[in-house]
Structure 1
Amino acid sequence: MIEVMIVEDDPMVMEINSKFLKRIEGFILYKAVSNLNDAKKFILIKKPDLILLDVYLPRENGIDLLKWVRGRELDIDIILITADKTIERVQEAFRYGVVDYLIKPFSFERFKESLIQFRDRYNQFKKSDIIEQEELDKFISSSNVSQSENNLPKGVNKYTYRVILDEIEKGNYEVFTAEDLSEKLGIARATVRRYLEYMQRENKVEKFIEYGKVGRPQYKYHKI
């Protein structure tokens, strides 16, 4: 299990993020704290694998914890969770090696996408001491989506697109429905249907109708 620390001063946000985390397989909450002193204390007691770090804390700045972790060369990954949308802050965060940057308010789907991407990379790196370029490219943000995915139309999120497409490509499906993917990924059925319709136009999946003896005909898909 991947052990996670949450650093967040707002009790309601802390509770929401804790509940979000519990809904994603492979993670366990190690400690939730509201200030940097407690964060450092518990990090020194037991180093977590991942920190979900807020930036705006009372009289404190979460970036200081990021710098503290990097300055001590601790093997801890960090995802920033903040309302700060300034380019300066985003650039600073990535320069100090955050693995993702979530801008409040965000949806559970976006949160889940971030955690799943981290989990897949974390587990892959644990498997062996070496990795081939093709496999590595899947975990590098600049290479993680194709050129066509970078040019997705308005309303189609590349992270959601990638999560759904990865499940279609890696899942053991002969045929599947939007409901199958919705249940597996925890993404709303209406959202999955919308992305499948887009993938159909891209010729990545093919849709057909299956007529049953009772009830409405059912739309099913298979990958091309």
Structure 2
Amino acid sequence: MIKVLIVEDDPMVSMINERFLKKVEGFELSGIVNSIEKAKDAILIYKPDLLLLDIFFPQGKGTDLLRWVRSENIKCDAILITADRNTETVEEAFRYGVVDYLVKPFVFKRFKESLIQFKNRKCSFEDNENIEQETIDRYIFKEKNFESEQIDDISDMKGFNQRTYEKVLEGIYDMGDENFTAQQIAENIGVSRITARRYLDYLEKEKKLEVEMEYGKVGRPKNKYKLKTED
């Protein structure tokens, strides 16, 4: 089993990462910590194979932890899971050898692909004393490209805006495991209920959301949405 340490100071995000991790075969959770200093202690105690690491912490950054891991010559890989899209941060992360960089909000399929790619590479290295160029190339260039979970630019579609699309996704991610309505998303991100409903219906057609009808005693039934986490 591949031992994983989650380093994240947001309890809701930690919960989602833990839930997603449990759905991927071959991985086990060693622990969850919410600070850089606690992560250092946990790494020395649990000796994890992989970190699921955020960037922003009240004291320090995730890249500071990566720098420490490398300086201590600790055999531990990392996948960054963060809302930080800054180019310098991404470059620094790969400079310290992260195996992947997931930008919040993300969906389960992308998370799973990242872990499976890591597991396949690790198992291949452990099973072979010498690695052929073909095997190296397979993990450098990947056997297949990841399928994008978001279209390149929804602005190409009449009546849709890419920034609003991204805000709706962020609002959905903030809801965590909760079922939600178009009205709740509208209030959270500052758009009209009609606008939120259009984007939610589109995401449901993309099979990123599940939707069910909630019937009250009076009035029309409400659409209740939930992030779809299955393949």
Report the TM-score range of the alignment, normalised by the length of the smaller protein.
0.5 to 0.7
Matched, 1:16 2:30: no
Flag the structure with more relative contact order, 1 or 2, with Cα contacts below 8 A and sequence separation at least 6: 2
Within 5 Å, give how 1:201-212 maps onto structure 2: none
- Please provide the CA RMSD for this pair: 2.3
CA distance in 2, matches of 1:78, 1:40: 13
- Deviation of residue 155 (structure 1)? 3.6
The residue type paired with residue 133 of structure 1 is Q
Deviations 1:141-200, CA, capped at 9 Å, x for gaps: xx2257xx69x9x948xxxxxxxxxxxxxxxxxxxxxxxxxxxxxxx9x77xxxxxxxxx
2:181 aligns to what?
none
TM-score for the superposition, normalised by structure 1 = 0.64
Does the aligned pair in 1 maintain the 2:35–2:59 contact within 8 Å? no
CA distance in 1, matches of 2:120, 2:143: 15
- Deviation of residue 43 (structure 1)? 1.1
1:86 aligns to what?
86
Q: Equivalent pairs: percent with the same residue?
A: 54
1:58 aligns to what?
58
CA distance in 1, matches of 2:62, 2:106: 18
1:165 aligns to what?
none
The residue type paired with residue 142 of structure 2 is N
Deviations 1:84-133, CA, capped at 9 Å, x for gaps: 10111110100110000010111111101100100110111110111111
CA distance in 1, matches of 2:126, 2:33: 28
CA distance in 1, matches of 2:133, 2:64: 34
TM-score for the superposition, normalised by structure 2 = 0.62
CA distance in 1, matches of 2:89, 2:76: 20
The count of residues paired between Structure 1 and Structure 2 equals 154
CA distance in 1, matches of 2:40, 2:86: 26
- Deviation of residue 23 (structure 1)? 0.1
What's the secondary structure of 1:105's corresponding residue?
Answer: coil
What's the secondary structure of 1:60's corresponding residue?
Answer: coil
Matched, 1:132 2:127: no
Matched, 1:38 2:38: yes
- Deviation of residue 37 (structure 1)? 1.2
